[in-house]
Amino acid sequence: MFVPGVNGSVIPSAPSGSRLKGAYKNSKSLNKRKMSKGGEIEEDDDDKEMVDGVASILRGVKSKKNRLQLANKLAKQFNREKVEYNLAEFLKKSKVKK
């Protein structure tokens, strides 16, 4: 779908039903791999940065009950989208559990 822009230009609109990673997933595929010194391919830590960012946002939720509910919901979303993360570390960084 296209949306009219400034001066009659055409701008593609974002797809409906975008998920948590959305455009992040597309940019990740472009920068997913890099070569190490030994010639092996290693993954960038984009997933870790995203999980840390989500944990940071969750720390801003004042209600511990709401924070726990959101953390569980986001952990399920991470699992559906096959995000590499450690659940215990995510909950600790989110200040949900010690």
Structure tokens at 3: 């949306």
Question: Model pTM greater than 0.75?
Answer: no
Taking only the tens of pLDDT, the chain with its 98 residues reads 445 555 555 555 444 444 555 544 544 444 444 555 555 444 547 899 999 999 999 999 999 999 999 999 999 999 999 999 999 999 999 999 87
Distance in angstroms (rounded) separating the CA atoms of residues 87 and 8: 48
Show me where the domains of the chain are located: 20-93
